[in-house]
Structure 1
Amino acid sequence: MNSFKVTLSIGTAIAALSSMAGSAQAQVGAAPATASDVGPGEIIVTAQRREERLQDIPIQIDAFGTEAIEDAGIKSTADVVAQIPNMTFDRGDTYRSNFITMRGLTQINNADPPIAFVLDGVPQTNQQQLSATLFDLERVEVVKGPQGALYGRNAVGGAINVITTPPTNDFQGVASVSYGRGDTLDLAGGVSGPIVRDVLMVRLSATHKESDGLIKNDFRGDKVDFVDHDDAVRGRLLFTPNEALTVDLRGEYADFKGGSNSYAAVFSGDPNDFVNPQFNFPAFAEGRNYGGTLKIDYDFGGATLTSITDVADYRQTNRADLDFRNPVDSPSGIFGQGFQAGQGQNQTIETFSQEVRLVSDGNQPLRWLVGVNYLSTNRNLRTRAFVDVTSTPDQIDNPALIFADNWEDNNNDAYGVFAQVDYDLGPSLTLTGGIRYDKDKRKQEDVNSGAVRKTSFDRVQPKATLTWKPTDDALVYATFSTGFRSGGYNAPQVGVPVFKAETLENYEIGFKSAWADDRITLNGAIFQMNVKNYQFFYVEAATASQIIDNIDKVRIRGAELELQARPAEGLDVSAAIGLIDSNIRNSLQFPSDEGNKAPRTVPFSSTVSAQYRKPLMDGIGLFMRAEWQHFGKKYWNTDNVAVQDPYNLVNVRLGVEYDDMGVYFFGRNIFGDEYYSEFFQPAYSGLDVAIGYPSQPSSYGIEARIKF
């Protein structure tokens, strides 16, 4: 489907919704909205560290509450990202790995993401944590645009703020089970209640997933995307001894094993030639992570002091094919050397973080916050490549078969100081100023040789916003903001030893508006980002190394428009479009790339959804939902040679609900559109063949959910 047709479809949808909105305004004007049918304009978020009405914040934010998460069947970060224009979530590499791209800024392997991913106030610093299962959630907020002043390092593209469901003062619970294609079983649940009423409350939550998989390995005959198990359990204690003090203690443990490095060798080199994997090695990744968070809030009666302390430990073992072929179809082996090759990674990431902030009340003309934070990260990564003789994982421990061994130990100490002030210049005019200073100290040891390297990166990140709010239901803003993604070391003994810090300046104009008692919202923005030392990623197979490099200057221009409406009782509709124009302005190392689009750029994306909930009889109701997600052409690499055609995903959900119970049929990608969620040509894969990571095919199943 071409961009013109998509634009026409979106325009038609918006026109239809606007027409419906007009009649809706007449309907809802007769009576105010009740607590059970609050419209999209009344969502409360904490994106700026205090509770605020979403429509009052001069930032483009998408927010999903508990009901919206359940209605859309959101169970992962990928499910959230699929709802957001100008944002993509690509699967690739190991079981938990992913590549998020937001507003043209993309994630890279074994390095800092382009967004701040924050779970209950704690920054998650490794990319595998972004792929963890989302369960028992109160809210997810997606904050777009550089947020360095508040979120610090890595928030160059924005932030994802995840808030889990807190303990409650009354006994309650939720449970769900779903079964789908590929013998995929999903279980999740949580229970909550008081230990000492009004003083000490507890919540326990857990999730489990297993699947035979859907993507066939044409050589082995098994499924490369199997999930042996993906389990997690979370506990929270909430202690409120008095009105001023709140102590929130959270602990979580997760364990997983699943298919990994599920790349297909694409001999044609065409990203629109969709083939199944055909490698001979039984690829898998297994690991576990655990952590604990202590959050303390004290209300001084005018300002609240918050302390958040977190410790986390993540470990993963990965074993996979390296040439992504087999000895029958490709007897010449990797690089024509006559042998098959395998790879493996052992990774450990240990983190400690501490943040302290003081936030004023939000109902004064002068609102402010100040804070400091510290993050310590130790990442030990050993990557080996070996001659594959027997297609068994234990070959990696045979020194005679090893032909590449990179073993690095990385230590990172990051410090940040930040402040933000909002001042009402008048009844309708507000000036916001923010500033942050970040410093990263990095140290890397080559474990094999004992060689040590040290360096540091630092940056001041200012932000200024002028907001004009002519009415309670409309605002216009202009923002200047900055972002900083730290540099670092690549693996020892590779061609690019150090990659530089990525910095940017963002200029943005946007608006927010609401009508019909907040049952209709229309928000939008246009922006330009000037990026220096844009970070991108490729593979050097000869040394089994993943390389992070820099493009000197990239300009990114874009626009977003989002509409949400409740035109009639029980009916919710939304439509959104995103436009991105990225341009490599200067590349000293790769001058032939100048004038091209930045890697993973999708110039046009859109999403449309509609859902309807209708009571039938005696507490029984009908639920229907359909969503269409369109992704335009994708420019995979900096040379813009590999361009993937547009594709569309259509998801449906149909259920019957009775009081707090529901049974639903669901279908994802029901028309079976094919695409690669990651694609590398030989120049970027480091191999002698292009490789693509196949997308998930059509899936369907049934889900039951109960609340008590």
Structure 2
Amino acid sequence: MSTEAAAVYGQATWQPGWLQDRLSLTFGLRYTEEDKDIIWDYLAYSTPFAGQIPRQTQANAESFDNLSGNFTAAFQATDDINAFLRYATGYRSGGFNGEQIGTPSFNEETVEQWEIGLKSDWWDGRLRINGSLYTYVWEDIQLANTDSSGGSATTRIINAGEADRWGGELEVLAAPIDNLVLGLSYAYIHGDFDKFPDVCGTAVPQSCIDGVSSALRPYSPSNQLNLTADYTFAETAYGDVTGFIRVNWQDEWYENALWNGVVDGQPVVYPSAVMDERMVVGARLSLENIKVGDAMMRVTLFGENLTDDDYPVYSINFGALGLISEQYGAPRTWGVELAYDY
């Protein structure tokens, strides 16, 4: 598989002089062209069930192009408060499923987004609050789909219709005392699919299962929360002693939009594996800014997943084969890191 791509991009910011020069307008455009091709060349092989499988070769090629852009209106209400409204479009080119010979290409996907937000500093610069609300329409979404209708579980990229979603983000940083910075960030997303291909069987007459009601939003938990604390314990002649702790929590999410197959000619939707709610804690203790000649060195003792939580990060439901596999995150891990900046 090969790709040749070319793009041209430009962006400009204009201050029209309105509202005491506090308004800025930013415009951006990007044009992209991509040419992709693939050659399938499967050598002959033998199986205990089907005997000799002959060599299979096939080629395909597609071209994609897109014009996308963004517009942002930012208003500097005070020296410490900036509000903005942003509109943007995005694009991801199509491609091929290399796992299956002769599989049709999948189309490019596009997204159209609106966002409104606020960036602000308070308390003489010791408190920062940033937040935004957004909504987007996502069309021809490229998603991994696992299909066992052919007797074996095969993963391929499909165009999964359309989604109209919305969400928000909040970030708070505070320095309540000297040498201590506390952080909080929260993200929320809502919505599944407005359009999704139906799951159909092979029997005559053909029956189908509604794809929109069966598909689930994958890869993205509805709620995520991060808490951090960064503290400098001491500033010595040998270097600065610092500590950092991070707590990441997220609720459950789905590893795949849809697992489907065909049994006795009838369509089947298999249960999606749920990636459990998790809370992962990490910490670092460092001696940094150690002078070594004209350079600086840092020594860090770190720990990840300090609570030794068992949490899945991916799963495969093999459908008619009756197997479900899961991959888990790393267990409690300790280490020492040495960094040298010169």
Question: 2:317 is matched with which residue: 668, 678, 681?
Answer: 681
Q: Deviations over 1:27-81 (max 9, x none)?
A: xxxxxxxxxxxxxxxxxxxxxxxxxxxxxxxxxxxxxxxxxxxxxxxxxxxxxxx
Once residues 493 and 616 of structure 1 are traced to their aligned partners in structure 2, the CA distance between those partners, rounded to angstroms, is 60
Alpha-carbon deviation of 1:496?
Answer: 4.3
Question: 2:93 is matched with which residue: 476, 482, 486?
Answer: 486
Alpha-carbon deviation of 1:645?
Answer: 2.4
1:650 aligns with 2:281: yes
What pairs up with 1:432-443 in 2 under 5 angstroms? 432-443=26-37
Alpha-carbon deviation of 1:677?
Answer: 1.5
Change (3 A) 1:475 1:450: same
Q: Which amino acid aligns with 1:612?
A: Y
Q: Deviations over 1:114-137 (max 9, x none)?
A: xxxxxxxxxxxxxxxxxxxxxxxx
Q: Which amino acid aligns with 2:67?
A: V
Alpha-carbon deviation of 1:622?
Answer: 3.0
Q: Does the Cα contact within 8 Å between 1:582 and 1:597 map onto a contact in 2?
A: no
What pairs up with 1:444-459 in 2 under 5 angstroms? 444-448=38-42, 449-459=56-66
Could you tell me which residue of structure 2 aligns to residue 421 of structure 1? 12
Q: Does the Cα contact within 8 Å between 1:437 and 1:460 map onto a contact in 2?
A: yes
Q: Does the Cα contact within 8 Å between 1:441 and 1:457 map onto a contact in 2?
A: yes
Q: Which amino acid aligns with 1:580?
A: I
Change (3 A) 1:450 1:637: closer
Percent of paired sites with the same residue: 26
The TM-score with structure 2 as length reference comes to: 0.78
Q: Deviations over 1:516-570 (max 9, x none)?
A: 4544321111111111111111456867854111111112211100112223221
Q: What are structure 1's unaligned runs of at least 5 residues?
A: 1-409
1:630 aligns with 2:239: no
Q: What are structure 2's unaligned runs of at least 5 residues?
A: 43-55, 200-208, 259-270, 292-296
Alpha-carbon deviation of 1:492?
Answer: 7.0
Question: 1:509 is matched with which residue: 101, 106, 116?
Answer: 116
Alpha-carbon deviation of 1:603?
Answer: 0.4
Matched residue SS, 1:599: coil
Change (3 A) 1:657 1:440: closer
Matched residue SS, 1:674: coil
Could you tell me which residue of structure 2 aligns to residue 268 of structure 1? none
> What is the root-mean-square deviation of aligned Cα atoms in Å?
2.5
The TM-score with structure 1 as length reference comes to: 0.39
Q: Deviations over 1:454-481 (max 9, x none)?
A: 2212211121111111122211111110
Could you tell me which residue of structure 1 aligns to residue 325 of structure 2? 691
Q: Does the Cα contact within 8 Å between 2:58 and 2:101 map onto a contact in 1?
A: no
Once residues 688 and 558 of structure 1 are traced to their aligned partners in structure 2, the CA distance between those partners, rounded to angstroms, is 37
Q: Which amino acid aligns with 1:671?
A: T
Q: Which amino acid aligns with 1:689?
A: L
Question: 2:212 is matched with which residue: 559, 571, 594?
Answer: 594
Q: Deviations over 1:161-219 (max 9, x none)?
A: xxxxxxxxxxxxxxxxxxxxxxxxxxxxxxxxxxxxxxxxxxxxxxxxxxxxxxxxxxx
What pairs up with 1:67-216 in 2 under 5 angstroms? none
Q: Deviations over 1:261-293 (max 9, x none)?
A: xxxxxxxxxxxxxxxxxxxxxxxxxxxxxxxxx
Higher strand residue share: 2
Q: Which amino acid aligns with 1:453?
A: N
Change (3 A) 1:452 1:439: same
Once residues 464 and 659 of structure 1 are traced to their aligned partners in structure 2, the CA distance between those partners, rounded to angstroms, is 45
Could you tell me which residue of structure 2 aligns to residue 528 of structure 1? 135
Once residues 435 and 585 of structure 1 are traced to their aligned partners in structure 2, the CA distance between those partners, rounded to angstroms, is 28
Change (3 A) 1:657 1:444: closer
Change (3 A) 1:570 1:415: same
Alpha-carbon deviation of 1:493?
Answer: 4.7
Change (3 A) 1:457 1:655: closer
Change (3 A) 1:670 1:446: same
Alpha-carbon deviation of 1:649?
Answer: 0.5
Could you tell me which residue of structure 2 aligns to residue 670 of structure 1? 306
Q: Does the Cα contact within 8 Å between 1:508 and 1:528 map onto a contact in 2?
A: yes
1:641 aligns with 2:272: yes
What pairs up with 1:306-325 in 2 under 5 angstroms? none
Higher helix residue share: 1
1:555 aligns with 2:164: yes
Once residues 25 and 211 of structure 2 are traced to their aligned partners in structure 1, the CA distance between those partners, rounded to angstroms, is 40
Once residues 707 and 437 of structure 1 are traced to their aligned partners in structure 2, the CA distance between those partners, rounded to angstroms, is 39
Q: Does the Cα contact within 8 Å between 2:316 and 2:326 map onto a contact in 1?
A: yes
Matched residue SS, 1:594: helix
Q: Deviations over 1:132-159 (max 9, x none)?
A: xxxxxxxxxxxxxxxxxxxxxxxxxxxx
1:473 aligns with 2:64: no
Q: Does the Cα contact within 8 Å between 2:99 and 2:156 map onto a contact in 1?
A: no
Matched residue SS, 1:547: strand
What pairs up with 1:312-351 in 2 under 5 angstroms? none
Could you tell me which residue of structure 2 aligns to residue 244 of structure 1? none
Change (3 A) 1:414 1:664: closer
Q: Which amino acid aligns with 2:315?
A: F
Change (3 A) 1:703 1:411: closer
Q: Which amino acid aligns with 2:190?
A: D
Q: Larger relative CO (CA 8 A, sep 6+): 1 or 2?
A: 1
Once residues 526 and 564 of structure 1 are traced to their aligned partners in structure 2, the CA distance between those partners, rounded to angstroms, is 19
Q: Count the aligned residue pairs.
A: 297
Q: Does the Cα contact within 8 Å between 1:581 and 1:597 map onto a contact in 2?
A: no
Q: Which amino acid aligns with 1:434?
A: G
1:583 aligns with 2:186: no
Q: Does the Cα contact within 8 Å between 1:554 and 1:598 map onto a contact in 2?
A: no
Once residues 302 and 96 of structure 2 are traced to their aligned partners in structure 1, the CA distance between those partners, rounded to angstroms, is 45
Once residues 658 and 463 of structure 1 are traced to their aligned partners in structure 2, the CA distance between those partners, rounded to angstroms, is 41
Once residues 657 and 589 of structure 1 are traced to their aligned partners in structure 2, the CA distance between those partners, rounded to angstroms, is 57
Change (3 A) 1:687 1:694: farther
Matched residue SS, 2:210: helix
Alpha-carbon deviation of 1:607?
Answer: 0.5
Change (3 A) 1:653 1:477: same
Q: Deviations over 1:432-490 (max 9, x none)?
A: 11111212112222234453222212211121111111122211111110110111111
Matched residue SS, 2:193: strand
Q: Deviations over 1:586-645 (max 9, x none)?
A: 113346341453212210001000021032655554322211000111122224732222
What pairs up with 1:536-551 in 2 under 5 angstroms? 536-539=143-146, 546-551=155-160
Change (3 A) 1:432 1:703: closer
